[in-house]
Amino acid sequence: MIIFLVVVLVAIIQISYMMNTQYATGDSSEEIHFVIDQVEITPEATYSFHDVEGKPFTDYTFSLAKEIKPGDIIARKANSKEIVVYRVDPQGNKEVVMEVTMKEK
């Protein structure tokens, strides 16, 4: 009976660990390329960014959001914790506006 309880307990811990690990790595495995079309500022001074289809950007909250403008691009390579916000000038040159590292969950 004790061996059965130990096996069940170990199985529960292992499944819990695997689910947690899968959840934590799932978000960062996708590449991000989000072109900002609209910036909304609430009365509480929080910023929300939307693309041309009206979808909000919800992957990260920027501490210096006031520097981000419509037309800027939020990008992240797959499996990276680094988010880059850049702006494209009329000549097509990319200028990095901000670089941030996402924290572990």
* 8 and 39 together in one domain: no
Output 74 or 8, whichever has higher pLDDT: 74
One domain, residues 20 and 66: no
Between 6 and 19, residue with greater pLDDT: 6
Tens digit of each residue's pLDDT (9 = 90 or more) over 37-87? 999 888 887 888 999 999 999 888 887 888 899 999 999 998 888 999 999
In a shared domain, residues 13 and 43: no
Q: Are residues 13 and 53 in the same domain?
A: no
Express each pLDDT in 93-102 by its tens digit. 999 999 998 7
- Residue 57 has φ and ψ, to the nearest 5°, of -90, 120
One domain, residues 37 and 20: no
**Count of domains forming the chain:** 2
Residues 60 and 19 reside in one and the same domain:
no
Residue 92 pLDDT greater than 80, yes or no = yes
Same domain, 45 and 75: yes
Residue 21 has pLDDT above 60, yes or no: no
Q: Which domain range does residue 11 map to?
A: 1-29
Are residues 94 and 55 located together in one domain of the fold? yes
Q: Residue 95: what pLDDT?
A: 92
- At 35, the pLDDT band (50, 70, 90 cuts) reads very high
